[in-house]
Structure 1
């Protein structure tokens, strides 16, 4: 089950990249985002337990002060697609 919906695959989740937010914004902590994407990749492979509601409910922390992480808007948009792909697996 490597390609559920919207063309998202476990490999695509593991290799996802995001730009940095505009100056003055911190965005999301990259490690937290990558760790969560690894969990969602396992789910797409049929080995995880996350449901679409788990993806919709995730809130990522900000990176340390003075650092810029991943652009929050891009990550949020990607998570909508991830939730949709997992919803297909969930049968919703």
Structure 2
């Protein structure tokens, strides 16, 4: 099943647990908005950019669970790679 822009817009992540580092919520949400626009054909985020994105982290003051976000970014990267292959082929 292909990942859609709506899937990206609607994804929710849990907060990092007490004493664990978490990604900046503002940065993650902003980047995912750019990804959603790309999946809608209105942006240009590449699989390489998804692979290389880095978010600020904080300890003990919230933020999104890093592993959850990283796993979702892997799905996005794969989707963008598949779309690029279909376009090139």
TM-score (norm 1): 0.85
1:41 aligns with 2:23: no
1:12 aligns with 2:7: yes
3-state DSSP of counterpart to 1:91: helix
Q: CA–CA distance in 2 between the matches of 1:7 and 1:30? A: 25
Which is richer in helix? 2
1:32 aligns with 2:27: yes
> Which structure 1 residue ranges, 4+ long, deviate > 6 Å from structure 2?
none
Gaps of 5+ in 2: none
Deviations 1:7-53 (CA, angstroms, capped at 9, x unpaired) = 31101111111111121013101110000000001111111111101
RMSD across aligned positions (CA): 1.5
TM-score (norm 2): 0.87
1:72 aligned partner: 66
1:61 aligns with 2:56: yes
